[in-house]
Amino acid sequence: MPRLTAKSATLLVLAALIAVTPFFFPSGYYYRVGALIFVNGLAVTGIVILTGYAGQISLGHAGFAGIGGYACALAPTHLGLHPSLAGVLGAVISAVLAYLVGRPILRLRGYYLAVATLGFGILVAMVLNNERALTGGPDGIAVPELGLRGLLKDWGLDLTNGQFWYFFCGIVLLIGAWIALNLHQSPGGRALRALHGSEIAAGTVGIDVARVKLQAFVISAVYASVAGSLVALQNKFITPDIAGFMHSIEMVTMAVLGGAGSVLGAIFGAGILTLLPQVLTVLAEYEQLVLGLVMMLVMIFLREGLLPSVLRKLRGRGE
């Protein structure tokens, strides 16, 4: 049997998990949780490209999720766009904003991006909260139906709402993971990972450091935006919380917990942190405490993240 590449192995594991897990669902509710994990996994895959590959950090990625989500709420009513195109529009706006914000900042050292994105996220949340006439303010706003489920029904594929979103988000996550994994192997991806090691060393071998960082930032913003659009379309409702500071922190924590350097690890981290509050409802009150603690502990003791560390241990024992 030919050896599987890491890329196809990751995609196979992911596809198998998405396809097989529903057989173990005790109730329809779990499709919802599953879809949520996939959406978070998608956003976190974007963080893998930015943080895991390129070694940069954003503390405001929820801002892009907010833009993606509110694009789906606003563009259909105000511009007459189909909700799916509204999601695309949100992704384009996110990419343009990421480019404009990132261009001056990414020439500089790491923490400038952290501060600027922190400010950016807070700014987006502020606009969504304050422009009541447009966004409905803190109470949120309704999002139109995507309509794809009805279309599938006409073609003879009758899914419940939960099932539809489970598989739809699962497929989008697979596509997102596939793109991220391809990037990992491409010359551009190698350039990104070279930055992570040392920006100066990368520069001396002829990599345009600022440009490559900017590309990673823009791509990861698009991931967050699409994830935001999916949340909005699935819930048919959206509030400014999606752009909030804590949501940005959640994304970073999911990525570093599972392992920001690996797509599968980060999605695994997204799974854990999405499931935990569902299993332990008492945790809601401790959410910030737990997130903060996880961030610190992982960075001190398991810098590669949970999954890569565990895999390395297993491999070490096997050989």
Contacts with other proteins, residue ranges (CB under 8 A): 51, 55-57, 59, 101, 104-105, 107-112, 114-116, 118-120, 122-123, 126, 130, 196, 198, 200-201, 245-246, 249, 252-253, 256, 285-296, 299-300, 303
Q: Which is nearer to other proteins, 1 or 300 (CB)?
A: 300
Least distance in angstroms from the C-beta of 242 to other proteins: 18
CA–CA dist 255, 82 (Å, integer): 32
Q: Which is nearer to other proteins, 241 or 287 (CB)?
A: 287
CA–CA dist 135, 141 (Å, integer): 6
Least distance in angstroms from the C-beta of 102 to other proteins: 11
Longest dimension (CA), the chain: 63
Q: Which of 268, 310, 305, 287 is nearest to 45 (CA)?
A: 268
Least distance in angstroms from the C-beta of 125 to other proteins: 10
Q: Which is nearer to other proteins, 129 or 229 (CB)?
A: 129
Q: Which is nearer to other proteins, 126 or 157 (CB)?
A: 126
CA dihedral 264, 262, 44, 101 (to 10 degrees): -160
Q: Which is nearer to other proteins, 126 or 280 (CB)?
A: 126
3-class secondary-structure state, position 142? strand
Least distance in angstroms from the C-beta of 189 to other proteins: 18
CB 87, CB 233: distance < 8 Å: yes
Q: Which is nearer to other proteins, 44 or 226 (CB)?
A: 44
CA–CA dist 31, 173 (Å, integer): 15
| Contacts for 108 with CB less than 8 Å, ≥ 6 apart | none
Q: What are phi and psi of 241, to 5 degrees?
A: -55, -30
Q: What are phi and psi of 216, to 5 degrees?
A: -60, -40
Least distance in angstroms from the C-beta of 22 to other proteins: 34
Q: Which is nearer to other proteins, 229 or 253 (CB)?
A: 253
Least distance in angstroms from the C-beta of 195 to other proteins: 11
CA 201 to centroid of chain Cα atoms: 29
**Residue 107 CB coordination number (10 Å):** 13
Q: Which of 147, 174, 144 is nearest to 161 (CA)?
A: 147
CA–CA dist 81, 158 (Å, integer): 26
Least distance in angstroms from the C-beta of 74 to other proteins: 19
CA distances for 220 relative to 98, 99, 159, 279, angstroms: 9, 11, 31, 29
Q: Which is nearer to other proteins, 167 or 184 (CB)?
A: 184
Least distance in angstroms from the C-beta of 253 to other proteins: 8
Start-to-end CA distance of the chain, whole Å, equals 20
Least distance in angstroms from the C-beta of 93 to other proteins: 18
Q: Which is nearer to other proteins, 142 or 283 (CB)?
A: 283
CA–CA dist 270, 310 (Å, integer): 16
